[in-house]
Amino acid sequence: MSDKKSEAGAFIQVKNVWQQYGDQVVLERLNLSIAEGEFCTLVGASGCGKSTFLRLLLGQEAPSRGEILLDGQPLADEPDASRGVVFQRYSVFPHLSVLDNVTLGLELPRAPLLGRLLGRGKRDAREQAAQMLHKVGLGHALDKYPAQLSGGMQQRLAIAQALIMKPRVLLLDEPFGALDPGIRKDMHALLLELWRETRLTVFMVTHDLSEGFTLGSRILVFDKPRIDPHAPGAYGARVTYDIPLNDGRRAPAAAGPFRTAYQGA
């Protein structure tokens, strides 16, 4: 494979990224090329920097070293509408109905002063929000309040909230970690359906390896290849395995049927 060629066409490029807090190195030497429409699942031991990596992709933090390019351009200093995010426990607005929670995302950027659209703009925004809520299976719950929803329903609401902004990248940090196995299965089906329909690029952290293999078109394993017992913060995690999961149902992966790319020294 020609690295030059694949890099030139990459949607997201992670170039020699390091993240360090004080003298603790959390991530080191990350290099990745992600094509638009890939579904990357991220796995690795607790504390190895998966959520940190998502924050870097979101633009919530800048890397200590290296850079992340989106469409060849450095990420904006702050999160913007090109990237949506869903956390394990999403903080929706408790005093707003399901419909208003999703409508608000459309209102704020269009009416930054008042935070509310009026008349026709408002009707259109509510209509779009209702359609999105139907899509995620909450069409029957538009007037409910978050406290009246089950965990699975709350995550559907969080996904609708993220998707209404039409992001190109969806970042999911253990979004189904708190859900029962049966509900998880439903959420997997929903997520795959939305992904296929929108061609979104997805990054999803999971602790569940089988979830990582089932959902992803590519799985990234984060691990610390070097450990100094006398200086636990000296070395960070890298992507030690980068495996395309090409089962024909999904977008073709960049390289052959099985590839491991250990970013060794």
Ligand X SMILES: Nc1ncnc2c1ncn2[C@@H]1O[C@H](COP(=O)(O)OP(=O)(O)OP(=O)(O)O)[C@@H](O)[C@H]1O
Name the residues that contact ligand X, by CB under 6 A.
21, 26, 44, 46-52
Helix (H, G, I), strand (E, B) or coil at 264: coil
| CB nearer to ligand X: pick between 104 and 237 | 237
> Do the Cβ atoms of 41 and 212 come closer than 8 Å?
yes
Residue 151 or 177: the one with the smaller Cβ distance to ligand X is 177
Nearest distance from C-beta of residue 134 to ligand X, angstroms: 32
Q: Name which of 47 and 72 has its Cβ closer to ligand X.
A: 47
CB of 130 to Mg ion, least distance (A): 33
* φ/ψ of residue 109, rounded to 5: -70, -25
Q: Are strands 201-205 and 238-244 parallel, antiparallel or unpaired?
A: unpaired
128 touches Mg ion by CB under 5 A: no
Given a contact cutoff of 8 angstroms between Cβ atoms, the answer to whether 17 and 65 are in contact is yes
Find tokens 């959420």 and name the residue. Answer: 187
51 near Mg ion (CB under 5 A): yes
CB of residue 10 to ligand X, shortest distance in Å: 23
Give the one entry of ligand X, Mg ion, none that residue 21 binds, where binding means its C-beta sits below a cut-off of 5 to 8 angstroms depending on kind: ligand X
Report the residue number, 21 or 93, with the smaller CB distance to ligand X. 21
Q: How far is the CB of 87 from ligand X (least distance, A)?
A: 10
Q: Tell me the closest approach of the beta carbon of residue 205 to ligand X, in angstroms.
A: 6
Min CB(49)–ligand X separation in Å: 4
Smallest gap, in angstroms, from Cβ of residue 173 to Mg ion? 6
- Residue 18 burial by Cβ neighbours in a 10 Å radius (0-12, 13-18, 19+): middle
Size of the site for Mg ion (CB under 5 A): 1
3-class secondary structure, 126: helix
* Helix (H) or strand (E) segment spanning residue 215: helix 209-215
Binding range to Mg ion, per CB under 5 A, among 13-21, 45-53, 95-103, 160-168: 45-53
When the beta carbons of 20 and 82 are compared against ligand X, the nearer one is 20
Helix (H) or strand (E) holding 70: strand 65-70
Select the binding partner of residue 48 from ligand X, Mg ion, none (C-beta < 5 to 8 A, by kind).
ligand X
Neighbour tally for 144: CB within 10 Å: 15
- Using only C-alpha atoms, what is the Rg of the chain? 19
Q: Does 60 contact Mg ion by CB under 5 A?
A: no
Residue 242 · residue 220 · CB < 8 Å: yes
Q: Give the N- to C-terminal CA distance of the chain in Å, as an integer.
A: 20
Per partner kind, with CB cut-offs from 5 to 8 A, the member of Mg ion, ligand X, none near residue 49 is ligand X
Q: Furthest-apart CA pair in the chain: how many Å?
A: 65
Footprint on this chain of Mg ion (rule: CB under 5 A)? 51
